Structure 1
Amino acid sequence: MLAVSAVQAQAVVEYVTPELATVGQELALTGTVTTARDAALSTQLQGLVADVQVDAGDRVENDQTLLTLDATLAALSLQREAAALEEARTRLAEARRLRDEAQPLAERGSLPQSEYATRRAEADLAAAALARLKAQHAEQAEIVARHQVRAPFDGVIRRRLVAPGEWVTPGQAVLELVALDDLRVDVQVPQQRYRELQTTQAASVLIDALPGQSLNGRIDARVEALDAQARSFLVRVAIDASPDTVVPGMSARVRFALPGAEQAVVIPRDALLRFPDGSSMVWVLDEKNSVRRQPVTLGAQRGERVVVLEGLTADDRVIVRGNETLRSGQAVQARVFAP
């Protein structure tokens, strides 16, 4: 009776033997969505922040005013230069009038040639003074304009780093602006696989925030410089995605199809147990119908089936049903899985 009860208490599981299939080679990598334009904006002058016209999350257009420094003194200097410029125009007009008035008199001999030469020189000096003051006025106008920080491109404000009343200096970041177009996915490719990828090669991109959606991508750039610490190369994959759904900073998975084909073990997806650290395992039956944990390395997923690169052979019996609460060494009742 005890033996019968023990058999009845055993968990019932269903298993499959892995299939051998010819599959194309793939390289799967994780990466991050980035954009070609990502800038930490700073002022061109030191000064007191008078107003910040934007905040984090605001979308802005190219040349839009984002931040303004107190320009009171600079504006007064510009008014002074404008007044001096107007005075110089008046002086030039008067000098030219006197010169032109003296010319016929000098030609008739009614005015000494030295006096006429003096009036011509005074007109030339007035013209030079006007040109100098025009340059000074333009310089001061540029100084006033540099009291504003303007958007260098269309994008969204990622962070606002200062507030009105703060003193800022050139080189100090005051806003972070990121473009929402020209999106790409940056991935680090192990050095041993780098040469297998070619520029313009196609890729399949899965954005983790958009489950079930696959985006078309292509390699846009391969950075021919090794990251000495990670022993990897940077590869950028351009993607065609709407900024309303994909934004810089999102995580992504990229798959590259590689040349050649190979025999691989394929099992149902339901046999897998996945863990937060990215590892995976299956339960395998031994000859006495006891179970053991078997770590596996996965390849591409093909519908309801997954390619196993390492950890299984075609002779293993892999549990598909009843694998949720098993313990290593546990004896079970096993039967063939019937889809």
Structure 2
Amino acid sequence: MTKHLARLGRFVLLIAITVLAGGVMWWVSRKSNEADPFAAGGEVVSTPLASQPRTLVKAVSVEPSMRDIVLRYSGKIEPWETYSLGFEIGGRVATLGKNADGSPLDDGDRVEAGQELARLDDRVLRARLAEAVANFELASSDLERSRRVRQVSPSAITESEYQNDVTQRAQTAAAQQVAEKNLEDSLIASPITGSIAERMIEAGESVTPHATVFEIVENDRLRLIVNVPEARVRELELRRRSVTEALQTGVSDPEERVFRTHVLLEGNDLYGKPWPTIEAEVYRIAEIADRVTGLFEVEIVIDNRDGLLRPGMVATADIVTDRILAYELPEAAVLFRADATYLYTVTGQPAAMPVLFWEAGETEVQYAKKVALTRWVDQGETILIPSDGAELSRVVTRGQQRLHDGQLIRTIADREEDEGVAERRADGASLR
């Protein structure tokens, strides 16, 4: 009996707990319905502006400055001038010139203007010169004796004999000049200050007249030759005329007085950084197009007095065709669509900052503002926006593809982005 009563008591207790739980759920549901504006038929309370979700973007501050509009072309560096040198006469090479170390001149050695490059065996030539000098002195003596005889006794020497002495002296003088010239031609001297591109002879070899034995290149200044299509030649010619006019009128801006070109070498240095930009100038624009390619050759002169460049190197030339006051932006910042070209800037306005049931003050809320572009200059990796065509301050450079005008955004600084990238790399390394 006692066991039956205990079981009944537990059953009653379970029923009581169930009823109590149902009552609590009803009471909580009733309170929720009263708080729910849709269930209670009240007005919807909007989320505070500062608490609304915002799209994460990256933005950079920009200011207008003088920017170069450039045309980019690649080409090969060539020596300013190339000289092929040979002996005027044939013979055997007796000696070669010496370099700074005292060794015979060879490929790549530096030579000065007038420096001896090679000399032929000149023993026979010196003997012939000595013979020619002796013959000239003898003929001069005979002619002088004939003149004195004619002055004392005009009939002592005939006119034909006198003229024969005059002719003999002239012939020996010419023979002496030829002998002197042949002796001079037994030596080759460098006509310029430059470098030996190639040496084709060895001491002791025999050479023929006019055969090339040395090739000298003038490389204190070099030429970068690029090929430009006809559609761009007009821009280059207008820039050339503008520079000429600036020189004639005395324009104070030095950059307006130079047909500037920025030369970029291929590859990177030991630390993976691009080589420093080399400042150069446009020297010549071809008057006619190449018959094969249809392109116009443009020669750019590069100062190479430091000797760091070599003919045959490949380089890229950024030829400056104009300079304007403009904003410089990454190409990715500008969106090109079929019907419009535009970008997004960052604009802000103050908004209340709620904390639980109170307002803790004001904060700046950022919006994306769509700016339509009518003028721009495509420079490959960058876009130039003329300052008179738009007024920009902070421009969105990443995340702009998913924006619309007036959308709430949050900008991320470069430092935050770099820290995030570093953390992801560290996580990946730990997983490996």
TM-score band w.r.t. shorter chain: 0.5 to 0.7
Q: Distance in 1 between matches of 2:213 and 2:402?
A: 61
Q: Secondary structure at the match of 1:227?
A: coil
Equivalent residue number for residue 299 of structure 1: 380
TM-score of the pair, normalised by structure 1: 0.63
Q: Which moved further from structure 2: 56-65 or 210-219?
A: 210-219
* Residue type of the alignment partner of 2:96: V
Q: Secondary structure at the match of 2:380?
A: strand
Please give the residue correspondences for 1:1-339 in structure 2 after superposition, counting only pairs within 5 Å.
Answer: 25-53=69-97, 54-103=105-154, 115-116=155-156, 118-119=157-158, 121-198=160-237, 199=240, 201-208=259-266, 211-259=274-322, 266-267=331-332, 299-300=380-381, 315=401
Q: Distance in 2 between matches of 1:187 and 1:142?
A: 43
Q: CA 1:301–1:169 in structure 2 vs 1: closer, same or farther (change >3 Å)?
A: farther
Shift, 1:144, TM fit: 2.0
Q: Does structure 1 retain, via aligned residues, the 8 Å contact 2:69–2:379?
A: no
Q: CA 1:245–1:122 in structure 2 vs 1: closer, same or farther (change >3 Å)?
A: same
Structure 1 residue runs without a partner (length 5+)? 1-14, 104-114, 269-296, 303-312, 323-339
Q: CA 1:241–1:316 in structure 2 vs 1: closer, same or farther (change >3 Å)?
A: farther
Q: Distance in 1 between matches of 2:400 and 2:82?
A: 50
Equivalent residue number for residue 281 of structure 1: none
Shift, 1:220, TM fit: 1.0
Q: Distance in 1 between matches of 2:295 and 2:59?
A: 33
Equivalent residue number for residue 276 of structure 1: none
Q: Secondary structure at the match of 2:286?
A: strand
Q: Distance in 1 between matches of 2:304 and 2:96?
A: 31
Shift, 1:212, TM fit: 4.4
Q: Distance in 2 between matches of 1:301 and 1:178?
A: 38
Q: Does structure 1 retain, via aligned residues, the 8 Å contact 2:331–2:381?
A: no
Shift, 1:137, TM fit: 0.9
Q: Does structure 1 retain, via aligned residues, the 8 Å contact 2:89–2:210?
A: no
Q: Does structure 2 retain, via aligned residues, the 8 Å contact 1:32–1:186?
A: yes
Q: Distance in 1 between matches of 2:76 and 2:402?
A: 37
Structure 2 residue runs without a partner (length 5+)? 1-55, 98-104, 244-258, 334-377, 384-398, 404-416, 422-432
* Residue type of the alignment partner of 1:157: I
Cα deviations across residues 201-221 of structure 1 (Å, max 9, x unaligned)? 322223448844223322110
Shift, 1:142, TM fit: 0.6
Equivalent residue number for residue 346 of structure 2: none
Q: Secondary structure at the match of 1:139?
A: helix
Q: Distance in 2 between matches of 1:140 and 1:147?
A: 11
Shift, 1:256, TM fit: 1.9
Shift, 1:169, TM fit: 2.5
For CA contacts below 8 A with separation 6 or more, give which structure has more relative contact order: 1
Q: Distance in 2 between matches of 1:124 and 1:184?
A: 60
Q: Distance in 2 between matches of 1:35 and 1:122?
A: 60
Identity of aligned residues (%): 25
Q: Does structure 1 retain, via aligned residues, the 8 Å contact 2:328–2:382?
A: no
Q: If each structure's helix is expressed as a fraction of its own residues, which one has the higher value?
A: 2
Q: Does structure 2 retain, via aligned residues, the 8 Å contact 1:31–1:187?
A: yes
Q: Secondary structure at the match of 1:234?
A: strand
Shift, 1:61, TM fit: 1.9
Q: Distance in 1 between matches of 2:57 and 2:209?
A: 67
Cα deviations across residues 254-276 of structure 1 (Å, max 9, x unaligned)? 102345889986249xxxxxxxx
Q: Distance in 2 between matches of 1:74 and 1:16?
A: 86
Q: Distance in 2 between matches of 1:192 and 1:81?
A: 66
Shift, 1:39, TM fit: 1.3
Q: Distance in 2 between matches of 1:196 and 1:232?
A: 15
Q: Does structure 2 retain, via aligned residues, the 8 Å contact 1:18–1:267?
A: no
